[in-house]
Amino acid sequence: MKTLIRPALSLFILMTVATGVLYPLAVTGVAKLAFAEQASGSLIVREGKTVGSALIGQHFSDPGHFWGRPSATGPMPYNGAGSSGSNQGPLNPALVDAVKGRIEALKAADPDNKGPVPVDLVTASASGLDPHISVAGARYQAARVARARGLDPAVLQSLIARHTEERLLGVFGEPRINVLALNLALDQTSRQ
């Protein structure tokens, strides 16, 4: 029996050290060298203070900021520790009611806006953490934000154009806008 336990225990300890310590350290080291910004969480720093990540959405609800996609994480929106979707299908009455409520909230925030509500403003992403909205989602909100801040709508259209990220390699995905980056630029513009 001892002849079986000793090699098994030795192999267990060796594999634990190799896969639980050495491999993660090696991967982390290579990532920090090759992709320093991404390995550190793609943090956005302003005036020496970390204000968020380019990879995780943030909750904005005041009329003077652009709003991101709804978050399905709980107990608070955009909770990185609780990344998950709602798992509600298109025929689920709870999803239908949630979408109707979100449409009503958007229309109440900007009653003069008679345009169609972009779908990404009323549905959560699969992770519940999506930091981007569509260009249509930003344009839909531009009049509300301009009115709340007393800005010329042309200034907002320029900000939207400057912060539009094109398709990956010109083919994959859709043009999108990082909401945090757009709102930070908006705050900077308002200070000037």
Domain boundaries, the chain: 1-40, 41-191
> Which of these, 124, 2, 135, 12, lies nearest to 72 by C-alpha position?
124
**179-to-24, 87, 187 alpha-carbon distances in Å:** 32, 24, 12
CB count, 10 Å around CB of 51?
14
Reported as a single tens digit per residue, the pLDDT across 121-167 is 998 887 778 899 999 999 999 999 999 999 999 999 999 999 999 99
Q: Do 67 and 132 meet the contact criterion of CB atoms below 8 Å apart?
A: no
pLDDT tops 80 at residue 80: no
Q: How confident is the prediction for the chain on average, in pLDDT?
A: 89
Longest dimension (CA), the chain: 82
- Residue 17 pLDDT class (50, 70, 90 cuts): very high
CA–CA separation, 30 vs 108, rounded Å? 50
Q: Could you tell me the pTM of the whole model?
A: 0.79
* pLDDT for the residue 192: 64
